[in-house]
Chains A and B, each alone.
Chain A
Amino acid sequence: MTDCPNGLIRDQLPEYVHGVLAADAAARIDAHLDGCEDCRAEVALLGKARAAMALFTPKMDVASIAAALPAPRVAAPRVAAPRVAAPRVAAPRVAARRAPRRFAVSGVWQYAAAAALVLAVGSSALWLSAPERSAQRVADSSSTATVPGTAAALPMNAAVVAQSENGMTFGGGLSDLSLNDLQSLLGQMDSVRTLPSSDPSSMTPVLTVNEGGKSL
């Protein structure tokens, strides 16, 4: 069995055998086969090869294969997507709700602790800087206390009054302060340099107030 020298024709013989050539191409092959014994023999060989390989191939069970196939996944996400997406949206919402709540609860105590320290520092500073001042004068200024080291005037409730060791009246109970007052007080403490505690759970800030180079 020899090979036909017409490579273009031989290249198309498998498609010819499968009957997938366009009509004009198939007609050219037919015309060529009429005068080419080699190509006729090759076409016969191709047919035998197809038959042989088909013969040695087991028949597939289409139903069992189809039964093992997964369900379509394209349609499912269209329905499931909102349900899947919902927790992703909800999670930040939960976190967003929790965060301010934690801040609000702990913030009250932070404000209270900070205010107590400010009052303590302020009273000490006032006592150190103006020992000659009378307790009455301090008591009169109880509505406005000056934090040493800052120029800020802290508005205080009139009811906040304290008595220092040298007779200086300074403040009262923190429970008398409203949350707004505490927040306002803390806001004005921005000018006071504060050092956070290394313990994140601690609610007691560490204050460092410089007054004439003195650290308190």
Chain B
Amino acid sequence: MGVPHREADATVDLALIARWQGGDQRAASEIVERHAQALARFAASHGVRDAVDELVQDTFVRAFGSLESFRADSSLRTWLFTILKRLMLDRQRAERRGRNAVELEEDHAVQEFNALDGMVADEALLRVREAVARLSPLQREVFTLRVTEGLPYLEIARIVESTEGACRVHYHNAMRAIKEYLSDD
């Protein structure tokens, strides 16, 4: 069930953390390299576009600032996703307060993804991307973490602060919704 693979990943991460805590800055670069793109995908799945790099950097800065509080009861990547999710929520709240902006809705996300349309993506990928963007925020989070990162439901539940069973339901509902959207073509 992929557990050995994840255990190996966790072992590598813990070793890198120990090296960094011992003063090896290169270990920090390796940690960033291992997880930055996954964090960026998660942020992008929320419709974040311009500030993805800033969000990911803030996530790492915050994580490394409190790395001593990291307990290996979950993977480092899961912990990083949790931090990123909090940062995105903070950002959304700040935007709502500051600009009286509406919360990111499905249509908003679709428009953001459509901006790249035709330039870089083929039609099939674009349709899938649109289908994902139309999911509810929670469905999109669960689907992204499950499909793009291959995380188990238990870890996803920690990130989205839900239960393992609820995440399984969200995933299958998301998959059904995507299939329905694509079958409408």
Contact = CB atoms under 8 A, between A and B. Distances in A.
Nearest to B63: A69
Interface residue SS majority, chain A: helix
Contacts of A60: 32, 36-37, 39-40, 52-53, 56
Interface in B45-79: 45, 49, 52-53, 56-57, 60-61, 64-65, 67-68
A80 B45 CA distance: 43
A59 interface: yes
B147 interface: yes
B3 A22 contact: yes
A132 interface: no
Interface string A51-73: 11111111111111110111111
A131 B143 CA distance: 109
Nearest to A22: B1
A75 interface: yes
Nearest to A63: B29
Contact of A14 (B4, B36, B68, B146): B146
Interface string A3-17: 100000011101101
Interface stretch (A40-48, A89-97, A145-153, A183-191): A40-48
Nearest to B45: A53
B44 A53 contact: yes
A57 to B, nearest CB: 4
B148 A53 contact: yes
Contacts of B168: 11
B3 A1 contact: no
A85 interface: no
Contact of A59 (B4, B37, B57, B126): B37
Which 3 pairs between the two chains have the least Cβ-Cβ distance?
A18-B150, A20-B2, A60-B36
24 contacts: A12-B1, A18-B2, A22-B4, A42-B175, A48-B124, A49-B147, A53-B44, A53-B144, A56-B121, A57-B37, A57-B40, A57-B52, A59-B37, A59-B40, A62-B32, A65-B36, A65-B56, A66-B25, A66-B28, A68-B60, A69-B32, A71-B25, A73-B65, A73-B68
